[in-house]
Amino acid sequence: MATLEIRDLHVTVEADNATKEILKGVDLTVKQGETHAIMGPNGSGKSTLAYSLAGHPKYTITGGTVTLDGEDVLEMSVDERARAGLFLAMQYPVEVPGVSVSNFLRTSATAIRGEAPKLRTWVKEVREAMERLNMDPAFAERNVNEGFSGGEKKRHEILQLELLRPKVAILDETDSGLDVDALRVVSEGVNRVRETGEVGTLLITHYTRILRYIKPDYVHVFSAGRIVESGGAELADKLENEGYEVYTKGGASA
């Protein structure tokens, strides 16, 4: 069973000519087949956790460990982390001019699987995955995210998730900017992957609306760079009713 283990993780970032500590000792274990929702106010460190796990150079790990199946993630390059089974769906997916969606997906699959997918079966696989996400097949020949709407970019992120099948999927505010219909389609895509039981999911969000479609096994509240409370899905209902003030009034968030 694939397991992502985060122990006492501390992360800093350079801002305004000063070093600021964002994560102040995060402990979290995500096992294959589990869904963990990370919730918290703006600036609490949720996205910093996501990008630190993915290896973004902006963030400096100053303490703690991260392992995936016992392997030291922090010693891996970004591409090695992806090949090891970590996947990040970004809050703001970037455009990649000059690279078509079809080439990007097949190159990614080749890197993950260790060999190029057979073209005939791969085209069928991509087409069927796009149909499930209500994506126009013509998008396969467009440049990655170039001219895509916010909802189209998020569907493309979930298309990657469905095709690459990582060990652990980190979804950074995937619900951000989605209308109700797009949220439903994207959530259904996440649930299809979850139902395989092969992927651990770390779902980062401000709001509970996506949790109406994607039911978490665990909910963790982030505040000031730490997990300050954990519980089951009922904790999300508490946050919906009471907000984050009880967690933030004792001190400023990171």
Bridge partners of 144, per DSSP, are: 96
Residue-wise pLDDT for 37-53, tens only, equals: 999 988 899 999 999 99
User: Is there a domain that residue 88 lies in?
Assistant: yes
Residue 180 contacts residue 131 (beta carbons within 8 Å):
no
What range defines the domain where residue 42 resides? 3-95+168-248
3-state class percentages of the chain: helix first, strand second, coil last, to nearest 5? 40, 30, 30
Domain count of the fold of the chain:
1
**CA-based nearest residue to 22, from 6, 7, 50, 30:** 50
User: Is there a domain that residue 111 lies in?
Assistant: no
Q: Where are the alpha helices (DSSP H) in the chain?
A: 46-54, 78-84, 101-113, 119-132, 150-164, 180-194, 234-242, 245-248
CA 224/CA 26 separation, integer angstroms: 11
Task: Look at residue 176 in the predicted model and tell me its pLDDT.
Answer: 87
User: Is there a domain that residue 141 lies in?
Assistant: no
Residue-wise pLDDT for 5-16, tens only, equals: 999 999 999 988
Tokens of 144: 């990655």
Give the mean model confidence (pLDDT) for residues 208-224. 94
Which has more pLDDT, 168 or 120? 168
User: Is there a domain that residue 118 lies in?
Assistant: no
CA 169/CA 2 separation, integer angstroms: 12
User: Is there a domain that residue 142 lies in?
Assistant: no
The number of CA neighbours under 13 Å toward the Cβ of 208 is 16
CA 3/CA 6 separation, integer angstroms: 10
pLDDT category at 246 given cuts 50, 70, 90 is confident
User: Is there a domain that residue 27 lies in?
Assistant: yes
CATH of residue 37: 3.40.50.300
In which element (H, E) is residue 66 found?
A: strand 59-68
Q: What is the mean pLDDT of the chain?
A: 92
Task: Look at residue 61 in the predicted model and tell me its pLDDT.
Answer: 97
pLDDT category at 218 given cuts 50, 70, 90 is very high
User: Is there a domain that residue 143 lies in?
Assistant: no
User: Is there a domain that residue 136 lies in?
Assistant: no
Tokens 């100053």 — which residue?
Answer: 62
pLDDT at 17 over 90: no
Which has more pLDDT, 249 or 131? 131
Which has more pLDDT, 4 or 246? 4
